[in-house]
Amino acid sequence: MKTLFRALLLTLSLISCAGVASAQTTQISTDYLMTVYIPTERKAIDNGLTIVNILPGGWVRGPKISGKIIAPGGDWIRTMPSGVLRLDVRLTIETDDGAQIYMTYGGVVVGSKEAGEALARGEVLNDKGFPYFITTPQFQTSSEKYAWMNQLQAVGKMAELKRTKNDAYVKYDIFGLR
């Protein structure tokens, strides 16, 4: 009986510890940082890799930052065996007051047959057009005014996407994490 009681106490103790170990202990909050509009041009597709040029005409707009995207810039998209896309994007922002900010991000895109068909028809898709389209921007600048961005991890969600032969772009809403 004593052995059974000890086993029961040990089991209850393990269950209790497992519950505590998996309990959420922190919160993440976001602050809207900016919207980014990036015109693109697909250049090469080879062995699961798509290379996309970032074209002139892109911009960023937000409460603390406004500017344009300047050349060069690109996106190296890897298609995983499951069909999931992995992004590797690098670009430069020139703010309206002349500062330059290097922006890089990875990301994950989970598409669907319906989304692919809509893009092929030239439709503009919004964030509801993809099951999952999330990016993780980071920034680097020597500007004192924008130095706060060097300390920031951000997350972005696709807001719009269009891909036709003569008109292709992606638009993200970007949020700072804290």
pLDDT at 4: 52
Residue type, 73: G
14 within some domain: no
User: Residue 45's pLDDT band (boundaries 50, 70, 90)?
Assistant: confident
Residue 151: count other Cβ atoms within 10 Å of its Cβ.
Answer: 8
* CATH, residue 70: 2.40.160.20
In this prediction, what percent of the chain has a pLDDT beyond 70?
Answer: 88
72 within some domain: yes
The domain total for the chain is: 1
5 within some domain: no
Does residue 165 register a pLDDT over 90?
no
User: Residue 13's pLDDT band (boundaries 50, 70, 90)?
Assistant: low
104 within some domain: yes
Please name the residue ranges forming H helices in 78-167: 113-120
Residue 22: count other Cβ atoms within 10 Å of its Cβ.
Answer: 7
Average pLDDT, integer, range 53-74: 96
Dist. CA 157–CA 125, nearest whole Å: 13
114 within some domain: yes
Lowest mean pLDDT among 16-25, 44-53, 81-90, 108-117: 16-25
Residue 60, Cβ density class (10 Å: 0-12 exposed, 13-18 middle, ≥19 buried): buried
Q: Hey, is 69 helix, strand or coil?
A: strand
Q: Look up the domain containing 35 and give its range.
A: 31-177
